[in-house]
């Protein structure tokens, strides 16, 4: 194989590797806290979130639309009586949804 063909093959491999990751968005970093007789809060970094939902067992609140779209944000809701855990649903502007479950304490 000539040096020119070897260089071209290497360039194609590099381009193919980057093309597979071009549309992939990183998963934002989430922090969820659930306080019994208090508030359930969520923060996120590195993600454009369109809305959030809280689910405590059979009780669902949300989706709460129009949360800020910067790459970081904050949302809170009162924790219902008797809640033992919460599942937060983060609805991203790209249409994907991330879920985080946290026990209440």
Q: How many CA atoms lie within 13 A of 61 on its CB side?
A: 12
Average pLDDT of span 79-83: 92
Name residue, tokens 């609805």: 91
Q: How much is the pLDDT for 101?
A: 96
Question: For residue range 33-51, what is the model confidence (pLDDT) as tens digits?
Answer: 999 999 999 999 988 888 8
Does this model's pTM top 0.75?
Answer: no
Q: Are 46 and 23 in contact (CB under 8 A)?
A: no
Average pLDDT of span 71-98: 91
CATH 2.160.10.10 describes domain 26-103: no
Q: How much is the pLDDT for 40?
A: 94
Q: Where are the domains of the chain?
A: 26-103
Strands (E), 3-71: 29-34, 39-45, 49-56, 59-65
């Amino acid at each position: 194989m000539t040096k020119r063909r070897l260089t071209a093959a290497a360039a194609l491999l590099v381009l193919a590797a980057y093309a597979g990751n071009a549309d992939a968005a990183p998963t934002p970093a989430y922090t969820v806290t659930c306080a019994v007789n208090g508030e359930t809060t969520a923060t996120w970094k590195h993600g454009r979130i369109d809305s959030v939902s809280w689910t405590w067992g059979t009780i669902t609140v949300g989706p709460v639309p129009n949360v800020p779209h910067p790459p970081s944000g904050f949302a809170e809701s009162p924790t219902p009586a008797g809640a033992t855990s919460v599942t937060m649903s983060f609805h991203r502007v790209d249409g994907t949804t991330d879920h985080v479950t946290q026990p209440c304490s």
